[in-house]
Structure 1
Amino acid sequence: MRKIMGLLSVTLLLGCSWFNNEEDIVTMSPLPKVNNRFQPTTVWSCAVGIGAGEFYSNLHPAWQDGRVFAADRHGVVKVLDADSGKEIWSNNLSIHTGFFSCNRPAQLSGGVSVADSRIYLGSELAKVYALNAQNGSVVWQTTVAGEALSTPVISDGMVLIHTSNGMLQALNKADGVIKWTVNLDMPLLTLRGESSPTTAFGTAIVGGDNGRVSAVMINHGQLIWQQRISQSSGATEITRINDVQTTPVVVNDAVYALAYNGNLAALDLHSGRVIWSLGIGSATNLIVNDGRIYLVDQNDRVIAVDAQDGVTLWCQSGLLHRNLTSPVLYNGYIVTGDSEGYLHWINIDDGHFIVQQKVDSAGLLAAPIIGGDKLIVQAKNGKVYAITR
């Protein structure tokens, strides 16, 4: 099993050991030898605060209209020119305590979202912020039901947040007022982090810590359907974790969702009925493109699956237990980062390695994003890189 101690969130102290024998200890695969087919170019890099430090964080940048929006856990928010990396503005959301003139970290988490003329961020202190995208000033901030670990999602005039205690909340986009709350339930032991919802046809589709995928009407917070894609099973607490932590993907009338220690499943968008399922588990987001699903499983295998029937097309096992990021599709290649700071470029047709690139020795935790014609990567130390083919 993949090492997940840094990802665990516990709501009850357990009186037994999670790891009881040598079989529970996993070893990171050595770096595979790759003959690079081309050499990616680092266009620029820029430090954004001090990153996440030793904390687990899913903070990742966002891109809009030629600008990169990035933040660190402490509270630094910066906007950079996507072509040059030059800082446009910076703000610090850390909290001034007045005690020895110290600033308390804002503990930003989840990720940065940009919509229209605002930036949205959540924090482990149960705060959601809306900033003016032009100058960084705080438009509003709202206290939500728990740690805001998901990336804010903006749709139908609402800001959707999935909190650490299993609540899906909708905040009014204009002023941050909470419009509704849906309790998605949660078990005693879960992974650190929450599924960010995806939206389609006025509906929010979101994964829960109880192994279910839920569909909720955005305007009213009414639950439309729930479907379980994972059952708690196994001999230990960890093997019974069945979070749906990934963001579901909607393509046409199908919802593709992925559970940890569970299944990859295709569901009917309107009813939640299971169309097909495959025994693959993961806590990283998946890609659906041109009739194929690409994902990184819980043991860091990179896998391609036929989206029509769930048949596995290929599997790349050369990166086992390297703690891979969620993959992205860039310039026709799958790109994923690892905890030693390497980016791995993989052929989408057969899973063969194309390029291996060392980016930052601090390591990569958050998924890369696509910013125009560039690949934007943020390392654990907060440094942001812009890379091109």
Structure 2
Amino acid sequence: MKLSKSLFISVFMFSLVGCSLFGKEEEIVQVSPSPTVNNQFSIQQVWRNSTAGNTHIYSLLGPINYDNAVYVASRSGQVKAVDLSNGHTIWDKNLSQSTLFSSKTALFSGGVSADDKYVYIGSERAVVYALDRNDGNVIWEKPVRGEVLARPVSSADKLIIHTANGNLQALNRNTGADEWDVMLEVPPLSLRGNSTPTIAHGAAIFGDDTGHVNAYYINNGQLIWQQRISQPSGSTEIAKLNDVDSTPIIEGNLAYAIGYNGNVVALDLSNGQIVWRKEMGSTHSFVVDSQQLFVVDQNDNVRAVSKNGGTILWTQAGLLHRQLTDPVIYENYIVVGDFEGYLYWLDKDNGEIVAKTQVSSSGLISKPLVVDNKIVVQAKNGDIYAFTKK
């Protein structure tokens, strides 16, 4: 059973003391108000475009960039290529199925990814699509082993799919033909989300729902190593959740990862052994610079963590429980969005919030995209914006 993150948020962030879904009393958790910020610089909207969004559905669909084009999708089935420079639509395809008697939306959920030939997207209907990157025509569509909640990832001639039921599957990226698949353990209860694999040195490195980071050869699906970074604990079902839903980051011979109710860790890429660990939980992917990891933890603290041993360098606690997006680095700032549609700029050196703007009252969930001097965000209602700092 996958526990919807929207249900998870409502249970733990807006509930009163009383009998919970899991048989325990819940603590009152206060959502921090959006802080007042005297902007230290102006934020200019460069362009705006839109897809058919749905403000009532929890979806991490967000923009991706390849070769001066931004690719976006809506849950219903719209896939769009947008010119990065001016926001004009390059092509627009709708993959929902409509007949005279019925309509069947695509239920896209697996994020958009792109390479030199194709745009890929997965769905809750357990189908993956490959579209021609130049015109959006469907090259192939393929039923896979389960719901696709993570972005498909291409490498060489393969497309790696991580499904919600714990399957890691490789398809031929040109035809969609099966190459290999591996079935992973899935606990009875987990968060609704999956780790997007990172490809490095011929391996797919990703987290799973049992608290492990795994490395598999993409050539044949053989396991290289597996390391636990999050251990079940506590007396409630929620306390026992230990999903690793973040996307690992690979630098040199280290793999950085974080788990829910777990740790942020640096792993030896060659064998998976833990180099250092720091107790800190999150479902978010994080970003790095030359010296630090920037993490949004499971309470929406934004933290800077030293790459050298995991020391916490600063914490920004002014955005608690505001359902932040994954963080991104923009110039010398960390940028995150929140459920009320605000976008915040934090000073990378000390965590101070130095600017904010409200993008859309529908809210922000998906990770912003930073490319060239622009930051591109997709709101829950489907609108896509590009901003720049002035």
- What TM-score, normalized to structure 2? 0.94
SS at structure 1 position matched to 2:175: coil
1:71 paired residue number: 73
* 1:64 and 1:371 in contact (8 A); partners too: no
AA partner of residue 320 (structure 2): L
Residues 1-389 of structure 1 correspond to what in structure 2 (within 5 A)? 5=8, 17-18=20-21, 23-49=26-52, 51-99=53-101, 102-389=102-389
Q: For 1:144-172, what per-residue CA distance to the aligned partner results, in whole angstroms no more than 9, with x for missing partners?
A: 10001101111131111110001111111
SS at structure 1 position matched to 2:329: strand
AA partner of residue 54 (structure 1): H
Q: How far apart, CA to CA, are the structure 2 residues paired with 1:377 and 1:217?
A: 33
Percent identity, aligned pairs only, is: 48
AA partner of residue 169 (structure 2): Q
Structure 1 ranges of 4+ moved more than 4 A: 19-22
AA partner of residue 98 (structure 2): H
**Alpha-carbon distance, 1:29 to partner:** 0.5
Unmatched tracts of structure 1, length 5 or more: 9-15
**Alpha-carbon distance, 1:56 to partner:** 1.4
AA partner of residue 51 (structure 2): V
* 2:185 and 2:210 in contact (8 A); partners too: yes
Q: How far apart, CA to CA, are the structure 2 residues paired with 1:97 and 1:263?
A: 49
SS at structure 2 position matched to 1:24: coil
* 1:162 and 1:169 in contact (8 A); partners too: yes
Q: For 1:352-379, what per-residue CA distance to the aligned partner results, in whole angstroms no more than 9, with x for missing partners?
A: 1110111100000001011322101000
Unmatched tracts of structure 2, length 5 or more: 12-18
Q: How far apart, CA to CA, are the structure 2 residues paired with 1:18 and 1:251?
A: 41
* 1:205 and 1:213 in contact (8 A); partners too: yes
* 1:18 and 1:237 in contact (8 A); partners too: no
**Worse overlay, 369-378 or 115-124:** 369-378
**Worse overlay, 16-25 or 152-161:** 16-25
* 2:150 and 2:161 in contact (8 A); partners too: yes
**Alpha-carbon distance, 1:79 to partner:** 1.0
* 1:7 and 1:192 in contact (8 A); partners too: no
Q: How far apart, CA to CA, are the structure 2 residues paired with 1:240 and 1:195?
A: 18
SS at structure 2 position matched to 1:5: helix
**Alpha-carbon distance, 1:54 to partner:** 1.4
Q: How far apart, CA to CA, are the structure 2 residues paired with 1:25 and 1:46?
A: 39
SS at structure 1 position matched to 2:196: coil
2:14 paired residue number: none
- What TM-score, normalized to structure 1? 0.94
* 2:55 and 2:362 in contact (8 A); partners too: no
AA partner of residue 248 (structure 1): P
**Alpha-carbon distance, 1:228 to partner:** 0.3
Q: How far apart, CA to CA, are the structure 1 residues paired with 2:105 and 2:117?
A: 25
Q: How far apart, CA to CA, are the structure 2 residues paired with 1:227 and 1:7?
A: 32
Q: How far apart, CA to CA, are the structure 2 residues paired with 1:325 and 1:257?
A: 17
**Alpha-carbon distance, 1:18 to partner:** 2.7
**Alpha-carbon distance, 1:103 to partner:** 2.4
Q: How far apart, CA to CA, are the structure 2 residues paired with 1:22 and 1:282?
A: 22
AA partner of residue 228 (structure 1): R
Q: For 1:297-337, what per-residue CA distance to the aligned partner results, in whole angstroms no more than 9, with x for missing partners?
A: 00000000001211110110000000000000012210000
Cα RMSD, aligned residues only: 1.6
